[in-house]
Amino acid sequence: MRKQYLALYVALLLVSGCVSLPDEEPSHTSMVDKLQYEKSVTIDTDSLWPADQWWQRYHDDQLDQLIARALESAPNLQIAAARINLALASVQQSGAAMMPTISANASATQTRLSYHNGNDFVPRGWNTFGSATLNFDYELDLFGKNRAQIAAATSEMFASQAEQAQARLVLTASITKAYAELARLYANLANLSEARDIRLKTVQLTRKRYDEGLENRGSVRSAEAALALTESSLLELQQQILIQKHALSALAGAGPDEGEALTEPALTLDASHGIPSDAGINLIGRRPDISVSRLQAEAAAHRIGVAKSRFYPNVSLTGYIGSQAMGLENLNLGGSLAGGVGPAIYLPIFQGGAIKAGYKAAGAQYDSAVATYNQAVNRAFQQLADVSTQQKFMQQRIKKMQQAEAAAADAYQIVNQRYEGGLTGYLEVLNAQDNWLSSKRSLVNLQSEAVFVDVETVLVLGGGFIAEHS
């Protein structure tokens, strides 16, 4: 009997040549080693990789509380957690295929057998045929289909974990940037409030000079118009601050009322985050988005193995044991014992090209996944070069803008003193005021931009993520 099973198995293997593998193989080239970045990225030998809670370096308790709230209740993180659970269930489901299945089956059927099946042995009339068996089935996985499915599902599970890390990084960076924008608006509000006071004093001085016959009515009205425009800009800034607070509370998973309770930010940037000396060689392992693409490419590679295994026989070991009898009252009799065990072989011979098409589709999906991975790597190095360039010029820009603001302030003081002494007209004062206030606003915006660049640097460097799976 064993020889017969073996002969059958060998014959089926030979016949399996009827469904042959396609000649072409999927391409799988990576461009990581082709990227050059040494000239465009300025490293800082004293800089370290960002810490996991990198936002704490801005020393703002309110920001820390906002991010803590977001990490607990933000919907996009909840979605990412649900995807991890789904991927874990997929791994468990794939792993179940490696285990034997045992099931119980019981039936009672009213049957009438044909009298032409051997008249002496056929029971007469209608009878109840009973069966109660314990069934066993185990797929041998000789060609690695189930193992490849487990590997693919495992890679996808790790990819979902990296997706959660990416969602966390994007969320914390978005909150920090939005918070820095709120700080910028408050700083501009303070500057504009100071400008309003200056405009008010100018109006009072111009009216006094008009009453003394030293100024014309047009100058008074121009000063009043400048004051009204400044007050209108103040109202606009107050509106923008409230809207920005609403946006922050939404990012944190809170309601707008909680957002309006936020106070003026106190975040400080002691020093910009530099580019670590090993950023080039370790960037890929520090970026969660790249890890997602890499793990998805690995999963696609394993899916090729699954598709390839469909060209070969599927061999299982099956069996059953139990009782079978004509008449339910006979099921417990000793002679009712029934059972069987043996191999079951499924062999694809003609599927209308479906198996080959599935294999080609798996290869195409792998090529697409590798291309997506290459795109993510290319984008990461571009972003690294961009933030390095921004950092290189940022401090120089701030220094020049500070010089411009100081010069504009001195110019305004000089012109204002000349105006009070009757040595110049109001138009020159107005121009000097505008130049000074504009330079102050530009300096505040540039200092806020430095915070944005710092957050973007942390984002480019992965925000403390370290790839653990490959």
Cβ atoms of 345 and 8 closer than 8 Å:
yes
Residue range 61-86: mean pLDDT, rounded = 86
Assess whether pLDDT exceeds 90 at residue 65. yes
For 51, 172, 213, 218, 225, the CA distances from 422, given in Å and listed in that order, are 60, 56, 11, 17, 22
Question: Given pLDDT bands bounded at 50, 70 and 90, which one contains residue 14?
Answer: very low
Question: Given pLDDT bands bounded at 50, 70 and 90, which one contains residue 391?
Answer: confident
Question: Given pLDDT bands bounded at 50, 70 and 90, which one contains residue 25?
Answer: low
Quickly tell me which residue has 């918070």 as its tokens.
179
Confidence at residue 172, expressed as pLDDT on a 0 to 100 scale? 93
For 38, 60, 62, 457, the CA distances from 256, given in Å and listed in that order, are 46, 21, 16, 30
* Structural domain boundaries in the chain: 31-98+141-196+265-311+348-460
Question: Given pLDDT bands bounded at 50, 70 and 90, which one contains residue 293?
Answer: very high
d(CA 363, CA 300): 8
Confidence at residue 16, expressed as pLDDT on a 0 to 100 scale? 46
Which two structure tokens, joined as six digits, stand for 446? 């540039």
Backbone angles phi, psi at 130, to 5 degrees: -110, 145
| CB neighbourhood size of 230 (10 A) | 20
* Segment 111-150, tens digit of pLDDT: 777 766 666 666 767 778 888 888 888 888 888 888 988 8
d(CA 367, CA 371): 6
Confidence at residue 292, expressed as pLDDT on a 0 to 100 scale? 92
* Segment 310-347, tens digit of pLDDT: 888 888 888 888 888 877 777 787 778 888 888 888 87
Question: Given pLDDT bands bounded at 50, 70 and 90, which one contains residue 17?
Answer: very low
Fold of 31-98+141-196+265-311+348-460: Outer membrane efflux proteins (OEP) (1.20.1600)
Question: Given pLDDT bands bounded at 50, 70 and 90, which one contains residue 35?
Answer: low
Assess whether pLDDT exceeds 90 at residue 282. no
Question: Given pLDDT bands bounded at 50, 70 and 90, which one contains residue 88?
Answer: confident
- Three state DSSP letters for the chain: CHHHHHHHHHHHHHHHHHCCCCCCCCCCCCCHHHCCCCCCCCCCCCCCCCCCCHHHHHCCHHHHHHHHHHHHHCHHHHHHHHHHHHHHHHHHHHHHCCCCEEEEEEEEEEECCCCCCCCCCCCCCCEEEEEEEEEEEEECCCCCHHHHHHHHHHHHHHHHHHHHHHHHHHHHHHHHHHHHHHHHHHHHHHHHHHHHHHHHHHHHHHHHHHHCCCCCHHHHHHHHHHHHHHHHHHHHHHHHHHHHHHHHHHHCCCCHHHHHCCCCCCCCCCCCCCCCCCHHHHHHHHCHHHHHHHHHHHHHHHHHHHHHHCCCCEEEEEEEEEEEEECHHHCCCHHHEEEEEEEEEECCCCCCCHHHHHHHHHHHHHHHHHHHHHHHHHHHHHHHHHHHHHHHHHHHHHHHHHHHHHHHHHHHHHHHHHHHCCCCCHHHHHHHHHHHHHHHHHHHHHHHHHHHHHHHHHHHCCCCCCCCCC
Which two structure tokens, joined as six digits, stand for 278? 């090993």
Question: Given pLDDT bands bounded at 50, 70 and 90, which one contains residue 426?
Answer: confident
Contacts by 394-402, CB closer than 8 A, 24 or more apart: 394/272, 394/446, 394/449, 394/450, 394/453, 395/272, 397/446, 398/443, 398/446, 398/447, 398/450, 401/439, 401/442, 401/443, 401/446, 402/443
Question: Given pLDDT bands bounded at 50, 70 and 90, which one contains residue 24?
Answer: low
Lowest-pLDDT range, 81-90, 199-208, 389-398? 81-90
Residue range 358-382: mean pLDDT, rounded = 91
d(CA 459, CA 390): 14
Q: Which of 402, 460, 59 is nearest to 274 (CA)?
A: 460
* Segment 245-257, tens digit of pLDDT: 999 999 888 889 8
* Segment 142-193, tens digit of pLDDT: 888 889 888 898 888 999 899 999 999 999 999 999 999 999 999 999 989 9
Confidence at residue 249, expressed as pLDDT on a 0 to 100 scale? 92
Cβ atoms of 354 and 19 closer than 8 Å:
no
Higher confidence at residue 213 or residue 271?
A: 213
Q: Which of 228, 230, 207 is nearest to 218 (CA)?
A: 207
- What's the whole-number average pLDDT of the chain? 83
Confidence at residue 121, expressed as pLDDT on a 0 to 100 scale? 64
Assess whether pLDDT exceeds 50 at residue 61. yes
Assess whether pLDDT exceeds 50 at residue 387. yes
Confidence at residue 244, expressed as pLDDT on a 0 to 100 scale? 94
For 20, 137, 254, 285, 345, the CA distances from 13, given in Å and listed in that order, are 12, 21, 63, 44, 10
